């Protein structure tokens, strides 16, 4: 029984003493990881480009809104001035 146990230990030591060898499954796993990292990098780059495009579109939209608000403000000032003139004409006695 002791001899059988020693033989088992000797076999395990031989397995551990051998240099590491890569099996086909290990190579496929490493290839899968490398491909996955590559795809993730490409996706990240694409997302970064999309975010950059959205930032440019947002800036252009903000400029358009600012321009429209400026025009609206000018129109409101003109309406206010016209209303003031009309009120002044009503308040002034006519001869």
Res 95 pLDDT > 60? no
Residue 19: which pLDDT band, with cuts at 50, 70 and 90? low
| Structure confidence at residue 93 (pLDDT) | 63
| Structure confidence at residue 62 (pLDDT) | 92
Q: Identify the sign of the CA torsion 85, 86, 87, 90.
A: positive
Q: Is residue 66 part of a domain?
A: yes
For the chain, how many structural domains are there in total?
A: 1
How many residues are given for the chain?
95
Q: Is 20 helix (H, G, I), strand (E, B) or coil?
A: coil
> Which of the residue ranges 17-21, 29-33, 84-88 would you say has the lowest mean pLDDT?
17-21
Q: Is residue 29 part of a domain?
A: no
Q: Is 6 helix (H, G, I), strand (E, B) or coil?
A: helix
Q: Rounded CA gap, 13 and 92, in Å? A: 115
Tell me: the pLDDT tens digits for 45-78?
Answer: 888 888 888 888 888 999 999 999 999 999 999 9
Domain that holds residue 61: 37-88
């Amino acid at each position: 029984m002791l001899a059988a146990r020693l033989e088992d230990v000797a076999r395990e030591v031989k397995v551990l003493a051998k240099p590491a060898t890569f099996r086909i499954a290990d190579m496929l796993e490493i290839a899968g990881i490398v491909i996955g990292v590559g795809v993730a990098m490409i996706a990240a780059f694409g997302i970064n480009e999309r975010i950059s495009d959205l930032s440019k579109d947002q800036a252009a939209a903000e400029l358009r809104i600012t321009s429209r608000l400026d025009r609206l403000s000018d129109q409101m000032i003109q309406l206010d001035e016209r209303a003031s003139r009309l009120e002044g004409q009503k308040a002034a006695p006519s001869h």
